Each structure stands twice: as C-alpha cells, then as structure tokens.
Structure 1
Amino acid sequence: MSILTILFILLVISRAAEAQRRLSNITLGSSLTPHSTWPSSSGVYAFGFFPQHVNSYAIGIFLPDKTVVWTANRDSVPTVPDDVVSLRLSTEGRLILRRRQGQDEDSFDHPTNTLLPGQRLPPGKEIFSSASDTDYGRGIFRLKMQTDGFLVQYPINTLDIHPYAYYAQPPNGAVNVSLNLDSDGRLYQLNGSFPLRNITNGGFPTQGYVNLMRLDVGGIFRVYSLSLGNLTMTRRWSSTDDECAPKGFCGINSFCILMDSVPVCQCIPGFVSVQADNHTAGCSRSFSVQGCPEINDRLKYDMRRVDNTEWEDNSYETMFTSEEECSKACLDDCNCETAFYKDGQCKKQRLPLRFGRRSLDSSNMAFVRFSTTVVPDTGGDSDSKIVTKKERRIDILIIGIVIMSIGVLALLVSVFFAHQKRKDYSKISKDDGANYVEGISLQVFTFEHLSEATNNFKEELGRGASGTVFKGVLQNGQKMVAVKRLEKEFAQGEIEFQTELKTIGKMYHRNLVRLLGYCFDGDNKLLVFEYMSNGSLADILFNQEERPSWEERVEIARDISRGILYLHQECETQIIHCIKPQNILMDENWRAKISDFGLAKLLKQDQTNTYTGIRGTKGYVAPEWYQKQAITVKADVYSFGVMLLEIICCRKCVDWNRSEDEAILEEWVYDCYATGKIGNLVGDEMVEERKVERMVKIGIWCVQYDPSLRPTMKKVLLMLEGTVEIPMPPSPNSFLSSI
C-alpha cells in the first residue's frame, strides 16, 4: 500500500479539509505490535490491532469508544498474538503483517461496513454488515451503490434483482451515482460532481462529535453521532424503523415478528431452532421424513396454518382455489411441503423457506406439512429411521391397550367423585334445583353453605357499585374463593341478576376472573369467583415501594387488553366493561384478570351501540358518556388508555396533590411526549426511552376525544405486542380545540 494511502487512512477520514493541511508523522519502516496503535493527527481515530473473538486480534481503524469503522482482511481468520510479530509500514510504502508462518499484505481500497465524513461509496461498490457486534467479519447484509443509479439493500448471496431487495432509492434517471457523507451527517448522492439527492438532511453537531453511517449487524443502515466527550453513540437516522424488514434476518424455516419493536424469530410448525442464541441459524424439523408417502400414509400428516406471513416465492405450481382446497392440494401432493395462499391464489412450494416475516397484509397465509406421528430424528443411517408396517401395527396395538386402560380407570374415578359430590351437597335444599340457570354449568350453593364458608361474611376483600366481596374457603379448607354478595337494592332486580349470571357463566378466558358458582335464595343473591391472591392492580400500581418493574407492567397491559378483546369480540354477548385498576385482579402468578362485571353494559349480538346514563368512575369514563352520545366498545378503549397511562407512570389519572400542569395525567403525558421529555414519566426508573415512547403513543391514541380516532382493542393488542407500526398521535383534545 502506498505512503499516500496510509496518510489517507490516518488523516483524510477525520476531516477532508483538515486532512489536506495536516500530515501525520509515521516514518517508513515503523511497525506496530498487537498492543500498540498509530493515532491520527486529530486524535479521533487510531489504526492498529483490536480484540476479535477470544484471545485473538483483527486489524483496522477504530474510534475512541472502540467502534470499528474499517477492517483489514475482514474475511480472513483473525490473528493470534503468539503468531504475530509485527504490522510494518515498509520502506516501499506497503503495509505488511508479519507472521511467524509468513506474511500478508493489505490495502484500504473501499469501506467495509461504515462511511466516514469525506468517504464515498463509488458506483458498482458495496459495503457489508459485520457478522456480529463482536465479529467484524463479513455479515449477511449488503448495501450496494449500483451502476444504474439505484442504492439498494440485499441479503448476501442473492442476485441484484427486485425480489431480493428490501430497501431501494431510485436514481431519477441518473447513472454512475456515488453515495457520500458530510461531516454534519448529511448522506447524499452525487452524479459526478452534481448533487442528486439528500438521503438525510444532516445538520447534526460536529463540534466534539464524529458523525458516521454504518450498515448495522441487523441489516439496517443508520447515521450515528459519537460524542468525543463521554464516548456515547446516538442514533440520528435509520433507513427504516422496522427491524424485521431486512430479508434474511431470521434463518431458514423461521419468520420475524416484532415484540415491542424488538425482532424475534419464530419457527414454523414442526420445526425447532438450530441454535437458540443465533437467529440466523434457522430452524430444522422436529420429526423425520420418510420420503414420498403412500396414499394411505397421508393420515400421518396434516397441514398447519401460519397466518399473516410472507416468504420468498420459489413455488413450482400455482392454482386458483379456496383456502381449504389449497391446504388439501398440498397435503395430497407428496412433493409439496408448504403452500402460500392469498386472495384465491394457491402456490405450492418445497422447503426450505427463506426471508420470512410477519406480513402487514392479513390476507397472506401459509400452510405447512406437519407430521401427526412424530418420530424423533436422532441421526444415523436413513434405513434405521424407517418404521415398518409390522412395527406400526404393534405400536397401534400397544397404544390401543393403554388408551382402553386409561378409559376404564377414568370411568372408575368419575363414579367415585360423583358419589362423593352427591354426599357433599346433600345439604342443599330440594328447591335449589329449581334455581339452576339453564345453559351454564355452575355449582349451586345454599346461603347457609356460603355463610359458613365466609365465616359469616367476616373478611371483606373489596366493595363495588353492585355489592361487596368476601373471602371464603371451600372443600374442607382446600380451596380459596371470593364471594360477591349483591346489595339488597340491586339484588331485588331479579332480571339483572339472571342477566349477569347467564352472561358471566358462559365466559372463559385466561384474563377474566372465573365464575365458579352462585346462590339464588330470595333476596340473598351471591356469586362465587376464583380467588385472586395478589389483590388488585391499584394495590400494586400505586404502591411506590413495591411497584412492578417496567417489563411486568407491559405484560400486565397486554393481559388486560387480551381480556377486553375477548369481551368485545370473542364471547357470546358483547360487553362494555368500564374498567379501572380496582377491578383488575392479580392471581398467584401475577397474571392480570378482569373482574366485577356488575358494571358491564350488555349488548345484543347485532347491536353495535347503546344510549345510556353515566356509569363508571370519573377519570376512566369516556367523554361520550357525558355527551349522551351512542356508547360503543370504543368507550372501553378510552378507559383502557387512561389505565395504560397509569401503568406507564405508576400514578393515578387525577392527582390534585401534584402541580396544576401534572394533575391530569393524560394532559401531562401528552405534554411530555410533545416536548420530548418522555423520561419524566418514569422518573428514576431505568427504561429505554423508545420503549416508553411506544407505550405512550398507544395510550394517547386510546384517549382521543373523538371515538372514531381510537383504535380497536384488537389493534391495541397488536401495537402492544409490537407487530404493527404506531403512527404519531394527535393531541387527545385536538377535537375540542377545533370547535
């Protein structure tokens, strides 16, 4: 490498103008050892050895925070200290790595994964991501400045064609375009010497900062600023915010989904991860395949559906049919291992699947062949994996005998427990049978039984608008329950009681408190629920000493949204609940469950809204309740949004002990969001700001004054799970300010 090139390494990359004026005193014949470097004249950059893997080194240029911006021989094996004698600048101006087993020469022809101020990516050249954050060898993504003027991102080992691109900047008719970076972070394209387009506007600080562009390990190229004062790296711009966008982020037979904006790789049905800590390794079958099966062997396979996914299209046959026929057609074709279906079009395909990700188009789906007779693939010769027909008959016979034995045993146990149950409830009066509510399977209790179970209603757990809840013990002290005793004036309404009972008794969801039984004895009307050992969300959320962690709060929010979604869309009778932290209860596993359906407004299946008076607790009540407008499920979205903001900030929605600016939670949250002070919402708690901002945006959308602007609970859950993008929300009261 010439002496002019080595000067370029150490000087030009720091600042183009400064490099023209200053020279670094590196004498020909100088050398470096694995523990020394050559600094640039600015002191910002250094050239020499840096750690790579365990007990080995690589050679390159790096910043004061050890960020590597160029790597020599990045695809070769890293050097081992004992093998290296020196890195020498020869008298001929060449850079030579002297090893005990020979020597290598190197050059600085073009960037590796980073553009520094003053550098450019010429037409026809490309940069590659690193293999990992600690391995600076060539990774799996590339950014190419094509000779046709397109700036395009591809996975490695693919053709430069549209189906493989996941980012493209068009040339506007220009060719032979270069990619350039200015010192202020402006990333732009030049057509010769003519500025063509700004990709970023730049304007980032330069005094005490170094701005650079890097193609990250995950396949997204970004502009960063390094503060030379505290050596912190700040992300200034990204080519995309969707970290599942890079094709190939997940290995074969797996697809990428976003969980709270973090990309996670998930295997298709019947497959398991090859390496749990390596998302690029992909997934392999958890069952063995015996080749093309006979027609009768089709029973050993089934098709598993994978919704909302998209993949590389390498199909060998396309047909137009229904979803069911598409699945059957692949199952009947022994060459078909998966089928893609969308809008009546069915495409058959073989494995492996590549470039999988969660699709934004809900009509995309895939069907994957899945073995219903799982035979573990333990390796060895293929002959040893073949199960003969005789062996299968023996297996079926053994399984049949086992199933028959289990059936007989289960019958005997059922008879025993039925006899015991008849004995245990012999105290129930003959009239109780007449009070059984048709259509639901609930246990019937006498008032005396529940009075005894609650020790004459001694230990109160909480009060609601419709009644008081007491702690009880059943089954000889083995089972804890919560007994809700309806208030007398409410209990006089037999219709209301029957309505609530029929509704709750038919519902079951992991995020709803389960109704176990009831008592219907004149004015004494009681409901028996499963016992929630960890109290209400309000008990833990507003306890500053023992409040849950950020991740626990996020999971609580997801639990609640799943429960509300069930009430809105999945249960037989649609319910508007008017939730608040006091009726969100926590079980022994700290799972959130919705309780207290005494406030629920029941709707008929074909009814989408209702007109009614104000119900619920002030602060959680949607504006339409006060306006006497039609009440829809969007009223619950508002209540959830208020509670989500409480979950984020661990404070009540209205707190007059705070300053006037902070008293109303939703107004304070939006002010912090609009002014970039998101960190104020979580105080001293260490939480990534992007995670807080994402949750805040969801909350602000939910508390919009106009119900039509609020998302559905299904959309809310998708946003909480990180599977959809969240646009910038308007001010919650923007509708009011415009009238």
Structure 2
Amino acid sequence: MATLAALSSLIFLCLSQLPYYSSAVNRTLGSSLSSATDNNSSWLSPSGEFAFGFRQLNNSDLFLLAIWFNKIPERTIVWFANGDSPAPRGSTLELTTKGLVLNNPGGQMLWNASASPASATVTEAAMLDTGNFVLTGSGSDFVWESFRNPTDTILPTQTLDLGSMLFSKLTATNFSKGRFELHFDNGNVQLNPVAWPSRSIYNSYYSSGTSSIISSESGNKLVFNATGNIYIVKTNGEIAQLSPWVTITPRVDRYYRATLDSDGVFTQYAYQNNSPTNQSWWALRILPENMCTAIFNEIGSGACGFNSYCSIQNGRPSCNCPPGYVFVDPSNRLMGCRPNFRQGCGGDDGSRDPRELYEIREFNNVNWPLGDYERLEPYSQKDCEQSCIYDCSCAVAIYDGSTRCWKKKLPLSNGRYGETEGYSRVLFKVRKGDSSSGFEDNSGSRRREPILLGALLLGGSVFFNAILLVAISLVVFMWHKREAGNNAQDSSVSDTNMPCFTYKELEEATDGFKEELGRGSFGIVYKGDLRSGSRNAIAVKKLDKLVQEREREFKTELSAIGRTHHKNLVQLLGFCDEGVHRLLVYEFMSNGTLANFLFAIPKPDWYLRVRIALEIAKGLVYLHEECNIPIIHCDIKPQNILLDQHFIAKISDFGLSKLLISNQSRTFTMARGTRGYVAPEWFKNVPVTAKVDVYSFGVLLLEIICCRRSVEMECEEENRAILTDWACECYVERRLDVLVDGDETSMADKARLHKWLMIAIWCIQEDPSKRPTMKMVMQMLEGLLEVPQPPSFPSSSFSVSVEY
C-alpha cells in the first residue's frame, strides 16, 4: 500500500504542474526586468500568488533577484539568485535563447541561468502558481526551473533528487551563504554545520536514517506534496517519514514552506491564507527538536559561535555570552563571543601576581563538554579557582562539587545551557573591574558594602583629601623636576611594563647571534632560545642602523606594540636597552613570513589563504579602532606578516608605526613604507590617516588572491607588471580565471573571489575618502556588509622607484 501511495503521489506531483503552466503568463525572448524603477521589476504568476524579480535590500541601492509570496504583507522570499553579490541599482535581467542573464549597469554579467542540456534553446519563461519559475524549450519541456536549483526553501509540489542541497542564509537579512547546509545524498537527508566562511562541512547533526546497502530500500526522492506533507520516497516506492515527523492533516486554506533557517533549524512553516487579520508565519514542526544538543563535533563551534552558549527558547536556539565576554557581532549572535578584557599571565608579562588582575565568577547551569586540557584531583573549589587564575591558558574551570577540577582554554565550543549532570560549578576567569553588561555574579558577593562604605568615608573628608592631593602633587612635581636629567630610560620604554634583558643574556640565547632568520630595513632578526620560563624559542631583532634611526625605530616599536595584545599581532616579549645596544625580543613564528608562504610553488590552499586574509584584517581593525591609542602600521606587506606553527597570521614590524593621540584621526609624517604598497597620499605632503594601511591591505589582498607579487618588473607581459593595474583589467574583462592562473579551488569559490576582488579595488582607490575603513573591509570580507560596484579604477601609483 505504501508503494502505491508513493506512486500516486509522484504522478500527482507531475500532473499538478500542468494546469499551473497552461495558465501561466509566458514571457517571450527579449523580455527583461530592471532594478532601476519599481514599474518593471517583477513578473507575476497567473493568480498573483508569487512574483519573480528584483527586491531592494534594506533601502539600499542593492537588489536581489528573487521569488516571493506576493499576496501576503511579509512578501516572504523563497528563492534568490545572487545572495553573495547583490545587483546594484540599474541592473537588468534579460531572457535569451541560452537562458537568463543578469548584468550590472556596466553590462558585466553577475549571474546566469543556462538551459540544460547546453544544446537546448529557450523559447519562453513563466512564473507558475506553485512558486516555480521555469524556462521552456522548443518541445515545451522545462530546460531550467528554480525548483531544481533551490536555495534555502522548498515549496509544496517540489521534489529534491539525490545530490540536491539547501543552504541557510548568513542572517535573516543577509542572503550570503550561511553556516548550515541540507544534503540529500546516499539515500539520507542530512543537516550539516559549515566551517564558515569556507564551504567545508562538519559531521551531520540530523540524519533521516534512510540510507541502505540495499539500493532498492534507500531513499531516492524528498517530496513536499501539494497537501503540505514532507517525506522520502525510496527506490522501491515505499514512503519514509522524516523522523520524528508524522503525517499532517491537509489544509487547503494554508500556505506552506520549509526553510533551512540561518540558525540551522529546518522548519516547516504555515500561514493562514484567507485570514483578514494581521498575522505571521508560524513554525509547524522543526528538525532537530533541540539544536543546542544536536551538534556535537570535536571541531567547529557548535550550534552557536565559539565562546558562547546555546539555550532553547520557544523551540529555537538562542545564543548568549558568558560573564566577561561580548558578542563578536551583536547583529549576528551566531558568530560567537570574545573576551571583553586582555588575557595573559599576570600583568601579561608575569611581573604582577595574577590575583591582582583576575577574579573568578561563578556561572552555573552551563557546560562546554569538549576542550578539557587538564583534570586535577583531589581538588577543592578554592584549589580549582587558584589553579585557573595562575594558568595563562585557563579561561574557565569546571568543578564537580566534590574532588575534580577540569580546566578549559579558548576557544570554547559546543556550549549549551541547562546541562548540569556531573558539573555543579562553572568558574570563569575574568579581569578585575570588567563590566560585562547583562550578567550578574551568581554568588551574589560583589563587595558592594565595602565600596559603599569607602564612598561615604571619602565624601565625609573631601576638604582634607583635596588639601592632601595638592601637597602630594607638589612633592611629585618637584621630585620629577630634579630627577628628569637623571632618568636614563625613555618613558616610552619604561611604560611598556615588559622584561628588560641584558645584552649578554640575548647573546647567549642566540648563541652569539648565529642563526639568522631574516633582514629588515632596520636590522637583522636572529633565532634564539631563552632556556627558561614557559617560552623557549624566540626571535631577536638587533637594530644596526645609524644612531638616530635606530633610536626612533626602537622607541616606536616599543611604544606601539608594547601597548597591544591581540592574537593576530606578533607578541613582543621584552627588550634590551644597554649602552649602544638596542634589541627587541619577539615570540618565534615557526612558519616564517607570508611572502615565503604565498609565493611558493605549488600555490598554498585557497581556503587557508582566505583565513589568513581575514586574520590580517582583524589585526588591522584592532590597531585602528580597538587600541587605547590607535596605531597606523605604515608598512603592511607580506614580509611583515608572520605565520605561527598553526599558520595563524600575525602582523609584525611596527618600526614605522604612527600613534594617534586622543581625538586625532590624521597626522603629518615623512614618506615611508615599501614600494608597491605605498598609498599615493604619502607623496602629496598631506596628512595621512589609517587609510594608508587600507591601501596596503588592498594590495596585499590582491597578492593573496593571485599568489604573485605586487610588482614584477621582469614580467614577460608588460601589462601584468603592476598587479593592481592588471587585477583591475581582469575585473573589467571578467577574466577571473586568468587572474588566479586557473586555480581550480579558488574558481570553485567564484562568488567570494569576485567579491574579494571588488573589496581590494575599493581599498586601493587613489582618493583616501573613497576607501572603506578596515572595520568596513572586515565586515565586507565576512559577508556582513554588501560590496557595491567600485566607483572607478585607481591609476597606477608605482612610478616612484625608491624604497622608504
């Protein structure tokens, strides 16, 4: 009986398309749509239930080619074509004999739908009342249809064949590909998290279990029938439900859709189509039933982003941050959390007792079940807390209330709320004085009473304290005046609070400066070994230029990097300021420079290059916007990007950096930087801003995309000598394959490749005001901001042949 029911259902699905198409409003060859005006922006189905055309995004000048429910106020989108690269205003869609072609206002193709087979000729197109947009060939067969090319949604009468896929949006309003995918492969419907921003998938968090070694008993089609039921039809015709779903009662007065939402939940929605009152879609049923616990992978962040935890609210996953942490992107909570304080050992160099800087906050009923790196027993809770505070790597400790203490380090993954079995107390290490909004200390002992008492005492002796403060200030002023001439160490050096090594110590650590790692414009870098402490291998930069240049380089580097702490900046461990010797001690980066990595043969992996570009951008955002005193690096290039043992990118060489004082956004300074990466304003005697780093990053991004140097004067083809000029030519002529020299992996990620090339062109605009900030660049790279068409292509700025 199940076989007959399945056969009847499939026959019904095939025949049900006929009346919809026979009454369709057919569009003939040459028909077009434009995003320039509202009058010619959509084609309707015969009943007006669905529309196909352009939808404006967030009142911007960007448009999405889409299909939507047209008779409900929400006009819910069920299919879209160009989510990663929305079309600018004035773009046009044209119906040709080969299919649909979407061009921007300059005539460059943004997207196309080609007839299949390739030999087929398109005769007309139609928007059907099922929500399916179709192209028909000369034999009235469908040669392309949106139902066969789904995005995040399927509709009644739609089927998915083996090999089909749905992908979630990044957010509810961002149509870029998101963090989850639905795959129908090997007879199974599976939901998988994605290693965003790549498309690599992790293990599934839901499976229909309909795969079988006996091919006739394996799943063959996923059917969404006209009455609203969704099920799998096996090869032998049997019907299998998507567990734990059961058959629903048919209702003709409802719209249905099933969507893989941005939070990873596959949801079947319903909408009362004849209700006179205002309403919204409601969730009829969901997969999985508990998203928070469904995902459990050794790698990846889990249902929410790293360092966050997941709870279920009204059946949906809700992501939150633990104490002392804030959202990486408040507009997209799935992107995880970050500490709202600097981490490290004590005063970040071991000179202060960690108890002066850190405290433990208890935060219970939450667990991160993976990532333990140490288990201690028998331990009391106090022992557990102290162990975490004194451990540089420890971010949180879990105490079982009896004798065991588990320690975890960042990033935390698979966080979920309400899992307390075996865990009674969650102990977070946070910076003292940290004001993490939205969280209260579970212990209830925040020492408010001593603070209140202190405030009352202070208020009662204001007059006495004011006189005392004046007296102390006079004494300090006179002492400083007397000692100023004797102060042998510059304040910019002493304020860094870093270890000061003797020259002999560093000479011994480097075995007499024996192993050279590299040479820069201000000195030579040697490999060394401290032979003590938690760090062993180090890199020692020995400055060897003229005295004035050496002093300026030395003080600038100490002043700049000594105030910073970020995972994408090379960490400065200490210095030597002894007589004529000026040396800087850094963490050792075992994989060398980005230049050596990027320009090697064979080319490094595309997705690893993508990650490295994002990490460099994050480091620059930190320097420009998140430091207490913003820093312009002034010399961003592959030689100044180093890679650690895990190929994590870190920005180095701050010798040319420029610090901006409070409320300052630009500064005058002499020309500096390296040929091929220097922004044009360096040579115009005008104030420079952080946009000079944006320019250099744009050039660097092109190098990462192409795996070639910015200037190759010995290039056989003259027009390829300057990378920025050649990249712009390739962009205009849409020759991305030539730009990446046929790199198959990057061409498979063509949408990102095209978008990142546009971002690079924005960064290298000659006019600094037209360049985005690094924060905007970061958001565009991550798909959080749309990337508009660059206004113009920059002229070459490499006529200067000297290196500064």
TM-score (structure 1 length as normaliser): 0.54
2:541 equivalent to 1:635: no
Q: Hey, what does 2:741 align to over in structure 1?
A: 683
Q: Any residues of structure 2 matched to 1:462-541 within 5 Å, and which? A: 462-475=518-531, 479-490=536-547, 494=551, 497-541=554-598
SS of structure 1 residue aligned to 2:775: helix
Question: What CA distance in whole angstroms lies between the structure 1 residues aligned with 2:10 and 2:679?
Answer: 72
Seen in structure 2, the aligned counterparts of structure 1 residues 104 and 518 have a Cα distance that, compared at 3 Å, is closer
Q: Hey, what does 1:393 align to over in structure 2?
A: none
SS of structure 2 residue aligned to 1:163: coil
Consecutive unaligned residues of structure 1, counting only runs of 5 or more, are: 1-56, 59-72, 80-96, 98-102, 124-142, 170-179, 188-199, 289-303, 307-336, 339-349, 357-361, 379-397, 415-430
Could you give the per-residue CA deviations for residues 396-417 of structure 1, whole angstroms, max 9, x where no partner exists? xx99972223356689999xxx
2:618 equivalent to 1:562: yes
Q: Which amino acid aligns with 1:567?
A: L
Q: Which amino acid aligns with 1:720?
A: L
Seen in structure 2, the aligned counterparts of structure 1 residues 585 and 251 have a Cα distance that, compared at 3 Å, is closer
Question: What CA distance in whole angstroms lies between the structure 2 residues aligned with 1:167 and 1:514?
Answer: 48
Q: Any residues of structure 2 matched to 1:607-622 within 5 Å, and which? A: 607-622=664-679
Q: Any residues of structure 2 matched to 1:20-419 within 5 Å, and which? A: 77=6, 106=12, 109-111=15-17, 121=24, 145=45, 147=47, 151=51, 161-163=72-74, 165-166=76-77, 185=99, 208-211=119-122, 261-265=176-180, 275=206, 279=264, 280=266, 281=287, 284=290, 286=292, 351-353=314-316, 372-374=363-365, 402-406=380-384
SS of structure 2 residue aligned to 1:162: coil
Deviates most, 530-539 or 458-467? 458-467
Question: What CA distance in whole angstroms lies between the structure 1 residues aligned with 2:725 and 2:390?
Answer: 63
Could you give the per-residue CA deviations for residues 537-556 of structure 1, whole angstroms, max 9, x where no partner exists? 1111112x243111111111
The 8 Å contact of residues 719 and 726 in structure 2, kept in 1 or not, is answered as yes
The 8 Å contact of residues 616 and 651 in structure 2, kept in 1 or not, is answered as yes
Consecutive unaligned residues of structure 2, counting only runs of 5 or more, are: 27-42, 56-65, 81-93, 102-110, 156-165, 181-192, 195-202, 209-259, 267-286, 295-302, 306-310, 320-328, 338-361, 370-375, 393-485, 798-804
Q: Hey, what does 1:33 align to over in structure 2?
A: none
SS of structure 1 residue aligned to 2:585: strand
The 8 Å contact of residues 572 and 586 in structure 2, kept in 1 or not, is answered as yes
The 8 Å contact of residues 698 and 719 in structure 1, kept in 2 or not, is answered as yes
Question: What CA distance in whole angstroms lies between the structure 1 residues aligned with 2:594 and 2:115?
Answer: 44
Could you give the per-residue CA deviations for residues 683-720 of structure 1, whole angstroms, max 9, x where no partner exists? 13202233321221111111111111111111111121
The 8 Å contact of residues 250 and 355 in structure 1, kept in 2 or not, is answered as no
The 8 Å contact of residues 257 and 263 in structure 1, kept in 2 or not, is answered as no
2:516 equivalent to 1:585: no
2:538 equivalent to 1:445: no
Could you give the per-residue CA deviations for residues 654-711 of structure 1, whole angstroms, max 9, x where no partner exists? 1122211111111111111111211101113202233321221111111111111111
Could you give the per-residue CA deviations for residues 164-223 of structure 1, whole angstroms, max 9, x where no partner exists? 623799xxxxxxxxxx98866479xxxxxxxxxxxx99999999224487999xx99777
Q: Which amino acid aligns with 1:475?
A: R
The Cα of 1:263 is off from its aligned counterpart by: 2.4
Question: What CA distance in whole angstroms lies between the structure 2 residues aligned with 1:214 and 1:148?
Answer: 12
Q: Hey, what does 2:604 align to over in structure 1?
A: 548
2:711 equivalent to 1:666: no
Question: What CA distance in whole angstroms lies between the structure 2 residues aligned with 1:691 and 1:508?
Answer: 30
SS of structure 2 residue aligned to 1:679: helix
Question: What CA distance in whole angstroms lies between the structure 1 residues aligned with 2:68 and 2:17?
Answer: 19
Seen in structure 2, the aligned counterparts of structure 1 residues 674 and 594 have a Cα distance that, compared at 3 Å, is same
Seen in structure 2, the aligned counterparts of structure 1 residues 258 and 588 have a Cα distance that, compared at 3 Å, is farther
Question: What CA distance in whole angstroms lies between the structure 2 residues aligned with 1:432 and 1:511?
Answer: 34
SS of structure 2 residue aligned to 1:520: strand
Say how many residue pairs are matched. 486
Question: What CA distance in whole angstroms lies between the structure 1 residues aligned with 2:317 and 2:121?
Answer: 37
Seen in structure 2, the aligned counterparts of structure 1 residues 481 and 106 have a Cα distance that, compared at 3 Å, is closer
Over alpha carbons, which structure has the higher Rg? Answer: 1
Question: What CA distance in whole angstroms lies between the structure 2 residues aligned with 1:499 and 1:558?
Answer: 26
Identical-pair percentage: 34
TM-score (structure 2 length as normaliser): 0.50
Q: Hey, what does 2:701 align to over in structure 1?
A: 644
Could you give the per-residue CA deviations for residues 287-318 of structure 1, whole angstroms, max 9, x where no partner exists? 89xxxxxxxxxxxxxxx999xxxxxxxxxxxx
SS of structure 2 residue aligned to 1:588: coil
Q: Hey, what does 2:85 align to over in structure 1?
A: none
- Pick one of 759, 780, 784 that aligns with 1:719: 780
Could you give the per-residue CA deviations for residues 265-295 of structure 1, whole angstroms, max 9, x where no partner exists? 489xxxx99538984235726489xxxxxxx
Question: What CA distance in whole angstroms lies between the structure 2 residues aligned with 1:725 and 1:667?
Answer: 24
Seen in structure 2, the aligned counterparts of structure 1 residues 413 and 721 have a Cα distance that, compared at 3 Å, is closer
RMSD of aligned residue pairs (Cα, Å): 5.7
Question: What CA distance in whole angstroms lies between the structure 1 residues aligned with 2:602 and 2:764?
Answer: 27
The 8 Å contact of residues 52 and 68 in structure 2, kept in 1 or not, is answered as no
The 8 Å contact of residues 558 and 720 in structure 1, kept in 2 or not, is answered as yes
The Cα of 1:594 is off from its aligned counterpart by: 0.5
The 8 Å contact of residues 184 and 205 in structure 1, kept in 2 or not, is answered as no
Question: What CA distance in whole angstroms lies between the structure 2 residues aligned with 1:484 and 1:552?
Answer: 28
Question: What CA distance in whole angstroms lies between the structure 1 residues aligned with 2:765 and 2:389?
Answer: 56
Seen in structure 2, the aligned counterparts of structure 1 residues 580 and 236 have a Cα distance that, compared at 3 Å, is farther
Could you give the per-residue CA deviations for residues 148-172 of structure 1, whole angstroms, max 9, x where no partner exists? 5762799999995223623799xxx
